[in-house]
Structure 1
Amino acid sequence: MESQKKINVLVVEDSVASYQAIVSVLQNFGFTLSSERVEWKEEFERSIIEKSWDIIISDYYLPDFDGKYVIHRIKELNPELPVILITEFIPEEAASEYLNLGASEFLPKSSIIKLPFVVNRELEAFRLKQSQKKAWEMLVHGEEILTRSQKISHLGHFEVIFPENNTLWSLELYRILGYDFSEVPSMEKVWTLLDMEEKKLIEMVWNEVTSENTSKEFVLHLNTKLGRKKVNLWLEAERFDEDRFRIFGTIHDISDVSDLESSIQLNEQLFKGIFNNSSQAIFLLDLQGHIIRMNRNSVLSFERNESDVQGLELISSIFSESNEDSIKKLTYGMKLALKNQTFEVLVSYRLRDGREKYFDCDFYPLNDPFGKIIYLVLEAKDITEKIVLERAYAQAQKLEALGTFAGGIAHDFNNLLTPMMAYISYLNAEWSSNQTDEMIQKSLPAIEGISKSLERAKNLIQQILTYSKIDHSSTKQIDLREQLLQVLSEVKFVSSNKLSIFTDLGTESAFIEADPIQIFQILSNLYENSLFALQEIQNPKITISLTKVMYEKSDLFQVGFLKNTEYWKLSFSDNGNGIPKEILDKIFDPFFSTKGGKGTGLGLSIIYGILAKMGGTILVDSTVGKGTQFDLYFPAWKAML
């Protein structure tokens, strides 16, 4: 770990103060730096050629060149070396352009506090790529030996897993049988190439091998598109349990080639070991982007069976549900790989159950010894949990900072309100005793208006103070279901709305650890928000349900940072106007309100903060014109103490 903290940093910056700030923030994070500052193009060129650097940190506006030149030059000399831009006054679209050109990250100077996390991430990715590159060299070498050995010996292999009937052919077997690489493999296609009598022999031997768990070897003839071939067929069965087994076999074209079986088996194991044991999801593609092989990690990460997508085009099959931007980046990356270049991109991926994952993808070309591209490779690292944690951390920081800021203002403002409330109380007491004074009588409504305004200001201040003191509540074990029933019985619904309430709270006690006052805050805020959303709806309806869910079998699985295994899920939905998609991510921000001047914008922020402190969370799903559903997750307790 200590060796990873020692880094060589080249800072391309014309401001000494900015350079010192960069060095300081990295050293405070724990990095041991060997750094150098350059500001002129000649110095930059000399430094990147003569010295070795772990990372480049650059301003955009420089005396006689710019950050765009820095990116281009670094990518020419060392495409894998991370380049981080730190500057101001660059529009968002321009920043995106520089990221697409090869910059690892773009940070405003006002956000320099995030630099250590970005540097740590990029160094980890850079070192991982170096190790992966060595692994890939071994993989390519092993695959080349395997492919060439099979081609020289005309020996191909296959595997069939039962009862799924999943079938895999090696590339050489495709050639021997005369099929195109895009053809989906199945052993029935092999049997159609046999003479009738030999086909009967195969059926008998096949049954014998599977029943006796043994191996057999014999000679057959295949009627392929390329002509009639004499082959040596070797079969071996391996039983996993009573119902599942595998048949592994080789088909050796012995028409005019000698036997190299032992060499093939050795290199096949080498290829499988590197390919399937990689920590990354790996797709091996042909030059048209069709999937040839998927390793074990890609099957787990993308939740797709290799047999379902083998032979299909990668982007249109695997990433068909990804957003348009991700598809464009993947298409561009594949084009670069075909030009013998590497490309890294962050893409989103939607699982069949609706969950979204994020992958850091790399496209690579695989070349033969003469430099000709023979395969394309897509490596994908699952960074979903990392992105979710970063978002949660950013939200927590924002809430904490605003809470502290709001609390300070609220205290000072409350101090101003106290004497004003006292003066109004004094005037009410004094003037009410002198009812005959006509001028006083005329002033009483104004006094009453001021008093009501001060009372509303006091309530607002109290809300802000509550928000800023979320962490200072007193918790105990309570029954959430009982609390819900109590709140529902106390709340007076607006009869003019003809509001319908549907509840499904079950019969089981829902024990959680919480502050009862805060639970009342949560429920009353949700109820008030729904009332506002339903005020123009003809048949307003609120639905409340309470169920126990397991972490890995719920929507919480995509959140990633929660610790409990069981949660009480409180769903609170209405059939109101819904929340537009473009502001859905902002509704938990303090002081953000969709009620115009009728709300403070603190209700959902308070709920978010309370649940985060408890170890839970809140998720929202809304469709404009159909309604909104909030799902609140409370860590479950098995029984009261």
Structure 2
Amino acid sequence: MDNQRKINVLVVEDSVASYKAIVSVLENFGFIVSSERVEWKIEFEKSILDKSWDLVISDYYLPDFDGKYVIHRIKELNPELPVILVTEFIPEEAASEYLNLGAVEFLPKSSIIKLPFVVNRELEALRLKQSQKKAWEMLVHGEEILTRSQKISHLGHFEVIFPENNTLWSLELYRILGYEFNEIPLMEKVWNLLDFDERKKIESIWQEVTSENTSKEFILHLNTKHGRKKVNLWLEAERFDENRFRIFGTIHDISDVSDLENSIQLNEQLFKGIFNNSSQAIFLLDLQGHIIRMNRNSVLSFERNESDVQGLELISSIFSDSNEDSIKKLTYGMKLALKNQTFEVFVSYRLRDGREKYFDCDFYPLNDANGKIIYIVLEAKDITEKIVLERAYAQAQKLEALGTFAGGIAHDFNNLLTPMMAYISYLNAEWSKESSNEMIERSLPAIEGISKSLERAKNLIQQILTYSKIEHVSSKQLDLREQLLQVLNEVKFVSANKVTLFTDLGNESAFIEADPIQIFQILSNLYENSLFALQDSQNPRITISLTKVSYEKSELFHVGFLKNTEYWKLSFIDNGNGIPKEILEKIFDPFFSTKGGKGTGLGLSIIYGILAKMGGTILVDSKVGVGTQFDLYFPAWKAIV
């Protein structure tokens, strides 16, 4: 049993029917619900204090209190506990107010079917925050270990960022130099502790390091208020661009050298290991939003090299191709972090090859011992696969529901057509063309027209029934290449002297497991769609290709929910007018058609459904004025030797 599907839900609701509906819709989604209903304020106070809840779902209008009180009380007792308002008759501006007060979502009772998705999202977010908190505690613990190790080994470090001249000293460096912790860190204070000759030397080396972007190490003597100390100074410069760079250094008090240097290195590696091995993509930013460090996961997720973006402003470099809404949210999150607040935001990110990814991001500040913000951190979780799966699930649910609905209507309508066609057949037999009755002779064309219309209606009903019975097929091994050649031979007369056809099908047999009738439907539908798209083209052209691809080395790797390792990719490319973006999102919807009265709108939805049941998929790319490309992916049959 999946413990993550178990949830304890407190339902604040005065309607028993609404309470049962809430529990039912969550259980139908797969949650194992342990719930309690309260409707009076005293019951609510007792339940929220006595028991532990994963979620609170509340109506707004209650007998002796309201949803506003529920939100305030929950946020007072447990700020992390999600509160969802499920109610009616609240204006949109009021709903926004309650979301600002701390409710995670507002749903009308008429939209309760969306509740499981909201609950799933919030529970996932809560678990992620708990995981991030634990990871951060580990990082803080690592930093504490590092600080203690530095104290034991008498090693301090400093960092200076130019041209801002922002300077940071570790706690141990204060002790080594003999300054109080409330002193403002300035490197001039270090140079003031040097003898005259060594100060001249360090000034020269400092200039050399910054100009050559190198590192140096040497021995110095410091005249502190606790006495003269011998120290090892190590400097390293790192340039971000022409005008911005930083110097990182360590000062090791070797007046009494100990064997704790290995311990320091170990803890340094521990801190870096946690940073680089985090499951989240992490960006370390300065207070102007420039990228200082990226961990390994951020390089993989965003497909950007650290050296290419280091020192650049995060939003204008990494997220430059994101949509306007995402950029606004990121900018707002950065502003809140500078005010010592955290902020969570969902953003889209476009890779250089045009693919889009989705991230759940958190901004938060890093403070020094005095509470001063020294860095801003952006943690991003890649949720692309989750978003794709949700969309695919929603599309599958929609197709299944429409298929069931359409199948039922088509079946009943088919029962009505059968006697009508029988009556027409009877009339045709009775009113033969040899009859001398003038009235009957004038009626024969009408009878023939009715007969043709009924035949077309029967064909349409058959398509709808086919769509609703995609699952009920008998599959067998067949050669996709051979099937395609047969279809082209059967339909080639349609495009003769009209469309130029290019084919690249290779010589290898493309074995798949499928129903031959359905494969014929797929291929003929795509071919006819291409012909329709080319009817106004001056130089119509169709290109058909068939290649074998592996899942990991194709664009399927970013689809995220396919299981096979190899697929046969069948591409249909035409140079028609293309499909506008607003229409492209609807082309797989049943009964959606741009052909007017010439199409049923079932062709592409049938193709989508068949491929989904086979474990494949169909992708489309279209540009207005250029043309359209459909890529169909059929799972390769593994049983072939």
TM-score band, normalised by shorter chain = 0.7 to 0.9
Listed one character per residue, the Cα deviations across residues 404-454 of structure 1 (whole Å, up to 9, x for unaligned) are: 111111111111101110110111111015521011011111111111110
Question: Is 1:155 matched with 2:157?
Answer: yes
Mapping 1:252-401, distance limit 5 Å: 252-253=250-251, 261=261, 264-401=264-401
Residue type of the partner of 1:319? F
Return the alpha-carbon distance in structure 2 between the equivalents of residues 405 and 620 of structure 1: 27
Mapping 1:57-206, distance limit 5 Å: 57-59=57-59, 74=74, 78-87=78-87, 103-143=103-143, 146=146, 153-155=155-157, 194=205
Q: Which residue of 2 aligns with 1:213?
A: none
Distance 1:261 1:231, change over 3 A: same
**Secondary structure at the residue paired with 2:402?**
helix
Residue type of the partner of 1:424? I
Listed one character per residue, the Cα deviations across residues 142-187 of structure 1 (whole Å, up to 9, x for unaligned) are: 3366479879844369xxxxxxxxxxxx9769x9999xxxxxxxxx
CA root-mean-square deviation: 4.0
Distance 1:465 1:442, change over 3 A: same
Return the alpha-carbon distance in structure 1 between the equivalents of residues 524 and 556 of structure 2: 24
Q: Which residue of 2 aligns with 1:219?
A: 218
Return the alpha-carbon distance in structure 2 between the equivalents of residues 585 and 91 of structure 1: 31
**Secondary structure at the residue paired with 2:375?**
strand
Shift of 1:530: 1.7
Shift of 1:50: 7.3
Contact 2:19 2:37 in 1 (8 A): no
Distance 1:100 1:468, change over 3 A: farther
Shift of 1:610: 0.8
Return the alpha-carbon distance in structure 1 between the equivalents of residues 538 and 93 of structure 2: 44
Q: Which residue of 1 aligns with 2:196?
A: none
Return the alpha-carbon distance in structure 2 between the equivalents of residues 372 and 46 of structure 1: 41
**Secondary structure at the residue paired with 1:374?**
strand
Distance 1:195 1:385, change over 3 A: closer
Shift of 1:560: 0.5
Shift of 1:512: 1.2
Return the alpha-carbon distance in structure 1 between the equivalents of residues 45 and 332 of structure 2: 29
Return the alpha-carbon distance in structure 1 between the equivalents of residues 95 and 507 of structure 2: 55
Distance 1:399 1:594, change over 3 A: same
Q: Which residue of 1 aligns with 2:10?
A: 10
Shift of 1:70: 5.5
Listed one character per residue, the Cα deviations across residues 472-516 of structure 1 (whole Å, up to 9, x for unaligned) are: 222111111111111111104546982221212122221111112
Residue type of the partner of 2:449? G
**Secondary structure at the residue paired with 1:268?**
helix
Residue type of the partner of 1:155? H
Return the alpha-carbon distance in structure 2 between the equivalents of residues 632 and 336 of structure 1: 46
Return the alpha-carbon distance in structure 2 between the equivalents of residues 528 and 58 of structure 1: 53
Q: Which residue of 1 aligns with 2:504?
A: 504
Shift of 1:618: 0.2
Contact 2:542 2:574 in 1 (8 A): yes
Listed one character per residue, the Cα deviations across residues 4-34 of structure 1 (whole Å, up to 9, x for unaligned) are: 5554423233433112222334456352424
Give unpaired runs (5+ residues) of structure 2.
160-166, 171-184, 189-201, 222-229, 237-246
Distance 1:432 1:60, change over 3 A: farther
Q: Which residue of 2 aligns with 1:188?
A: none
The more displaced of 347-356 and 51-60 is: 51-60
Distance 1:329 1:149, change over 3 A: farther
Listed one character per residue, the Cα deviations across residues 41-68 of structure 1 (whole Å, up to 9, x for unaligned) are: x876786577653212234566788767
Listed one character per residue, the Cα deviations across residues 541-589 of structure 1 (whole Å, up to 9, x for unaligned) are: 2111111111111111111111111111111121222222112221111
**Secondary structure at the residue paired with 2:619?**
strand
Contact 2:82 2:103 in 1 (8 A): yes
**Secondary structure at the residue paired with 2:379?**
strand
Question: Is 1:53 matched with 2:40?
Answer: no
Contact 1:284 1:292 in 2 (8 A): yes
Contact 1:195 1:221 in 2 (8 A): no
Residue type of the partner of 1:400? E
Listed one character per residue, the Cα deviations across residues 336-362 of structure 1 (whole Å, up to 9, x for unaligned) are: 222222222221112222222111112
Question: Is 1:577 matched with 2:577?
Answer: yes
Contact 1:513 1:637 in 2 (8 A): yes
Distance 1:384 1:450, change over 3 A: same
Contact 1:281 1:301 in 2 (8 A): yes
**Aligned length, in residue pairs:** 583
Return the alpha-carbon distance in structure 2 between the equivalents of residues 586 and 559 of structure 1: 18
Distance 1:2 1:527, change over 3 A: closer
Contact 2:7 2:31 in 1 (8 A): no
**Secondary structure at the residue paired with 2:362?**
strand
Shift of 1:192: 12
Question: Is 1:31 matched with 2:32?
Answer: yes
**Secondary structure at the residue paired with 1:80?**
coil
Contact 1:512 1:634 in 2 (8 A): yes
Shift of 1:330: 1.4
Listed one character per residue, the Cα deviations across residues 50-96 of structure 1 (whole Å, up to 9, x for unaligned) are: 76532122345667887677557655664432233434577999978
Shift of 1:285: 1.9
Contact 1:572 1:631 in 2 (8 A): yes
Residue type of the partner of 2:462? Q
Q: What's the % identity of the aligned pairs?
A: 82
Q: Which residue of 2 aligns with 1:412?
A: 412
The more displaced of 270-279 and 70-79 is: 70-79
Residue type of the partner of 1:610? I
Shift of 1:371: 3.5
Return the alpha-carbon distance in structure 1 between the equivalents of residues 92 and 248 of structure 2: 57
The more displaced of 57-66 and 333-342 is: 57-66
Return the alpha-carbon distance in structure 1 between the equivalents of residues 599 and 60 of structure 2: 42
Q: Which residue of 2 aligns with 1:451?
A: 451
Contact 1:154 1:257 in 2 (8 A): no
Return the alpha-carbon distance in structure 2 between the equivalents of residues 627 and 100 of structure 1: 46
Q: Structure 2-normalised TM-score?
A: 0.80
Return the alpha-carbon distance in structure 2 between the equivalents of residues 571 and 177 of structure 1: 65
Question: Is 1:432 matched with 2:432?
Answer: yes
The more displaced of 347-356 and 441-450 is: 347-356
Contact 1:154 1:176 in 2 (8 A): no
Distance 1:495 1:564, change over 3 A: closer
Q: Which residue of 1 aligns with 2:486?
A: 486
Contact 2:75 2:81 in 1 (8 A): yes
Return the alpha-carbon distance in structure 2 between the equivalents of residues 177 and 371 of structure 1: 21
Return the alpha-carbon distance in structure 1 between the equivalents of residues 486 and 27 of structure 2: 54
The more displaced of 461-470 and 549-558 is: 549-558
Distance 1:324 1:22, change over 3 A: same
Q: Structure 1-normalised TM-score?
A: 0.80
Contact 1:288 1:313 in 2 (8 A): yes
Q: Which residue of 2 aligns with 1:553?
A: 553
Contact 1:156 1:176 in 2 (8 A): no
Residue type of the partner of 2:23? V
Shift of 1:625: 2.1
Return the alpha-carbon distance in structure 1 between the equivalents of residues 46 and 157 of structure 2: 54
Return the alpha-carbon distance in structure 2 between the equivalents of residues 300 and 197 of structure 1: 35
**Secondary structure at the residue paired with 1:592?**
coil
Return the alpha-carbon distance in structure 2 between the equivalents of residues 150 and 355 of structure 1: 46
